[in-house]
Chain A
Amino acid sequence: MRAPGRLPRWLEQLVLLAYPASFRRRFGGELLRFLRLQRREAVYRTPVAGPMRFLVEVLLDAARNGLRARIEASRTEGRGMRGFASELRTALRSLARAPGFSLTVALTLGLGVGAATAVYSIADWIVLRPVPGVEGHDRIVTVRFQSENSAGAWFLVSHPDLEDLARRTPAFGQAAGSHPAEGHVRLPGTEASLRLPLELVTADYFEVLGVRPVLGRTPQALAGEDPRTVVVSHRLWRAELGGDPGVVGRTLTLNGQPFSVVGVAPPRFHGPAPAERMTDLWVPVEAHTSTLPAYPEGLLAMRDGSLYFVMYGRLAGEAERGLAAAQLASARAAIVAEHGSASSLDGFVTVVESGVGVAPWVRGRAETTMGILLAAVALLVLLGCANAGNLLVTRSLGRAQELSVRRALGAGRSRIVVQLMAEGLLLGLLGGLAGMGMARGLLFLHGRERFLAWLPTLDTIPMDGRVILFAAGISVVTGVLFSLAPALTASRRADLRLGGGSRVTDGARTLRGLLVGTQVALSLALVVGAVLLMDTVRTLGRVDLGFEPEHVLEATLDPGTQGYGTEERATFWRELVTRSRRLPGVGAAGLAYAPLHGQIGSSARVWASGMDEDDAIGARRNQVSDGFLAALGIPLVAGRDFLPEEVLASVPRDVVILSEGLARDLFGGSPEAAVGRQVSLAFREGRSFEVVGVSGDVKVAGVKDETALVLEPMGQVFVSQWGTLYLRSDAAASPVGPLRQVVRELDPALPIYDVQRLGERVASSYSEERLLARLTSLFGGLALLLAGLGLYGVMSHTVAARTRELGLRVALGARGRAVRHMLLGQGLRLVALGLVPGLALAALAARVAESRLWGVAPFEPRVYLLAVAALVATGVLASWLPAVRATRIDPAEALRGD
């Protein structure tokens, strides 16, 4: 067994400092050994969240128990805590005497603490926090299904397979399944509906998750009862149903059908993964035909049917997760052996996770982004510390006399260190308060700007007690960290004789030089990161999308969920497009089954009819109406658009439009060569489709997408359940209101959602990159400012301390220019001191951010040169003013001296 590694020295010192000396002597070494083992265990369990949680736990544990031990020690030894309390009082008085200084330091620290707290809140919401409302997390197991051969692909399980799995897994006391869907809820007393996330659940779902309804019962179909029952979330009950205590038994119109309300979920419970999806409605799976009208009767009994579930189990008695995993694996094998490829489990392995939470792919993505943000934030916190330390040294220079007097009067060196650290602690807490305010602001901004578009619930992130503890934790750590070095030097200085000359301040100046160097290094890393990410965003913004998002409005409708049959849907879509075209200012309107840059989309392989299917080319497929190309501004390169009679035709015409690249790959030569030819499509066996047109190439799935596109007229294969309408209008026109009116006329109860300008959708497809770029540039800018201020402080002090010497030089004939250059050189040397470690740190930062870079290499020399230039410019600026002041020194005045 390898001995566990040491903890960072500062952490060990900090933890030990919390305890009284008597305890440290007896148990100090032992305590550190304990913590090392504990950390190793934490890292082993969860690589990213573990260390963070460990740090918070350790600091809280030390603060709480250290305090208690000190109180006890002070009772027996008559010192300790009482002493510390008086130090705190002294520190408070001393800070109150310098409010400007205290405020500056607090704000400097607050920036770092605030950013760290905001990032922690988000990470906490996505991956760390136990899901609200779920009881007995450690006894719940989530079962997912991963493809045996194509690693990384996740699937769900059919209802019969779910039941068989549950029966063959005795380690589960209870098991349940959940199928995500959408619900259109008619609001009482109105004609309008809300579109809300819904889960179709099996009978034991609430029991497995340990959720107890606050009113009524759990969602399940009772024998001999209409299964059309629903449990509503606490939020929905309060906000939309008036919080009526007699709601149980009332009828709610859900997806066009009457559902009886049988229960209200407890507050804050919104399903097993609220970070991903905040469920408001739970419906027993037996009611699926009413909830999803498109799904036929008997679907539930189909082993390979298309109603799929995530599986949850609650461990029985003493059973462990490992046992459940083993039983699930053999149950899967037995089911596949019995039913073969008819089973939804064929070709998949079971993967068990402890507890409930976001899907693994969401977590993976979140961890990368959070990793980059945390790295940037850590730099910012350190920078804040360096800057605050710098300010503190400046202040302690002014207090050299006071400290020396205290030392001479018999205050021990440790006493002075403790007092300076008490000040640091208070400043840290003050910074923490400022940081909490800033974190709130940042979270608000995240919610409004939808920076992480794949995380729809970001605007609901609460700042709970754990986050506040986290903020307090880092505030204390930073407070002590930044005051430690200045406190030690100041106390050493106070040992020297009273009234010492400039020699006394040498140590302080070296320390300040080092601090400025540190700031330069950290700033360089942040600036390089910011430039790289800004370059990425700029490149992404300049990508030729193949369509013109300006002045295009999109809106999505889901008549399928509303209960429309095929004929009704066809009529609805036809009417919608026709009436939208007549709206004032609208130049073109078109409909698509899958929105551009959206989550939905299907793909298909395409080959020239008569050719070998093995030569097929992979492409994305979409069903659209005529006018789709015009509405989006996609050029028609050859042939024609779909004709109105080809769209939603009662007899399919079997026509397609190909994108240019795809047409070239299939038929070679010019786009015209493809028009009139026949192609075959996977999943459309035995049919062949005439190419009637060739469109320009389009980035279908996102800015970084490269794939080919096949368009079919809507209705050629099926009449879509839902669709996205695109309206191209004059710059002046705003068709949102009129469009809503059109939909109201067609069906007042049909919700219209995802209404936005197409430009917003496109921008949100790289919202993460924009978030990272904006934050790192903000941090980088602040870093430059702080480094500049730090350098300015050092140079001003240098000039003030060397007034006599400089005056003498001028008196002896030194020119102003020479003096200026000397001082500028000195400032730039300090900058240069930080550049070398800064470049190394920047390279490291670039590595961390690499996965989010696009169109720019992580080690692009131009970026590094730019960052260095920015720092040198800052250095020149910060040294220039003090240097100019130095040349204005009047030699007579300076030499007269004191």
Chain B
Amino acid sequence: MPDSDPNDFLPLTPLTFQVLVSLMRAPAHGYGLKRDIEERTAGRMRLGAGTLYTGLQRMERDALIVETEATGDLQEQATSRWRFFTVTDLGRLALRAEVERLEAALGDARGVLAAGESVRLG
């Protein structure tokens, strides 16, 4: 088990959150992450090189992600000397904790909104 508490990282920054989501699917390199995140968020999140790599450096330092060997169908791309990253156990736990936190927050908000609307209608 990792020695840090995943709750220490909450709330995750939007970048950390999106990078972890992407890496949960498959290891990826920097540009692959950019493409994946921009696609999934329909362009709402645009990533510059500096933002992404300083973020990756921080996440690597915090042991949320780790550099990995490219495997399988990634090997062809690996010849282009990209650094590939994958999510660590700690990263996985931090993401799960964040999702739980968000769900709780969303539940609260929905409850309040529903109550407000019924008051207005009634």
Interface residues of A (CB under 8 A from B): 3, 15, 18-19, 23, 26-27, 29-31, 33-35, 37-38, 57-58, 60-62, 64-66, 68-69, 138
Contact = CB atoms under 8 A, between A and B. Distances in A.
B82 to A, nearest CB: 7
Nearest to A33: B82
A27 B30 CA distance: 10
Contacts of A58: 48-49
Nearest to A69: B54
B50 A62 contact: yes
A401 to B, nearest CB: 39
Contacts of B34: 34, 38
Contacts of B81: 29, 33
Contact of B54 (A3, A29, A34, A68): A68
Contact of B53 (A3, A30, A60, A138): A30
A841 to B, nearest CB: 32
A27 B57 contact: yes
Contacts of A57: 48
B54 A65 contact: yes
A61 B57 contact: no
A66 B80 CA distance: 25
Contacts of A30: 29-30, 53, 82-83
B43 interface: yes
Interface in B62-77: none
Contacts of B53: 23, 27, 30-31, 34, 65
Contacts of A68: 54
Given A3-B80, A69-B54, 5 more contacts: A15-B50, A19-B50, A27-B56, A33-B31, A37-B31
B46 to A, nearest CB: 9
Contacts of B57: 23, 26-27, 69
B51 A61 contact: yes
A61 B43 contact: no
The 8 closest A-B pairs by CB, nearest first: A65-B50, A61-B48, A61-B50, A34-B49, A27-B53, A65-B54, A69-B54, A31-B49
B28 to A, nearest CB: 12
B43 A35 contact: no
A138 B43 contact: yes
B109 to A, nearest CB: 24
Nearest to A68: B54
- Of B48, B51, B82, most A-chain CB atoms within 10 Å: B48
A34 B35 CA distance: 11
B59 interface: no
Interface in B24-46: 29-31, 34, 43
B29 to A, nearest CB: 8
Contacts of B48: 57-58, 60-61, 65
B43 A34 contact: no
Contacts of A23: 53-54, 57
Contact of B52 (A33, A34, A64, A69): A34
13 contacts: A15-B50, A18-B50, A23-B53, A26-B57, A27-B56, A27-B83, A33-B81, A33-B82, A34-B34, A34-B49, A58-B48, A69-B54, A69-B57
Contacts of B49: 15, 31, 34-35, 38, 58, 61-62
A138 B56 CA distance: 29
Query: Do most interface residues of chain B lie in helix, strand or loop, or is the interface mixed?
Result: helix
Interface residues of B, number: 18
A25 to B, nearest CB: 11
Contacts of A18: 50
A586 to B, nearest CB: 62
B107 to A, nearest CB: 26
Q: B49, B56, B82: which has the most chain A beta carbons within 10 Å?
A: B49
A369 B51 CA distance: 35
A784 to B, nearest CB: 40
Nearest to B58: A72
A67 to B, nearest CB: 10
Nearest to A76: B61
A64 B30 contact: no
B63 to A, nearest CB: 15
A33 B84 CA distance: 13
B50 A31 contact: yes
A61 B82 CA distance: 21
B49 to A, nearest CB: 4
Nearest to A26: B57
A58 B50 CA distance: 8
A66 B50 contact: yes
Contacts of A38: 31, 34, 49
Contact of B30 (A3, A15, A34, A138): A34
Nearest to B30: A34
A68 B51 CA distance: 10
A65 B57 CA distance: 12
Contacts of A69: 50, 54, 57
A466 B43 CA distance: 20
A37 B35 CA distance: 11
A29 B29 CA distance: 13
Q: Which of B54, B80, B81, B82 has the most CB of A within 10 A?
A: B54
B76 to A, nearest CB: 10
Contacts of A60: 48
B80 A33 contact: yes
Contacts of B30: 30-31, 33-34
Contacts of B54: 23, 65, 68-69
Nearest to B51: A65
Of B53, B56, B81, B83, chain A has the most CB atoms within 10 Å of the CB of B53
A534 B52 CA distance: 50
Nearest to B43: A138
A31 B83 CA distance: 11
A816 B19 CA distance: 76
A57 B51 CA distance: 11
Nearest to A37: B31
A19 B51 CA distance: 12
A366 to B, nearest CB: 26
A231 B9 CA distance: 51
A659 B56 CA distance: 75
Contacts of A61: 48-51
A3 B43 CA distance: 25
A30 B43 CA distance: 23
Nearest to A67: B50
Contacts of A3: 80
Nearest to B67: A26
Contacts of A26: 57
A30 B54 CA distance: 12
A663 to B, nearest CB: 62
Contacts of B51: 61, 64-65
A437 B81 CA distance: 47
B96 to A, nearest CB: 27
A34 B82 CA distance: 9
A69 B43 CA distance: 25
Contacts of B56: 27
Contacts of B52: 34
A27 B53 CA distance: 7
A29 B82 CA distance: 9
Contacts of A35: 49
Contacts of A64: 50-51
Contacts of B83: 27, 30
Contacts of A62: 49-50
A678 B48 CA distance: 72
Contacts of A34: 30-31, 34, 49, 52-53
A559 to B, nearest CB: 50
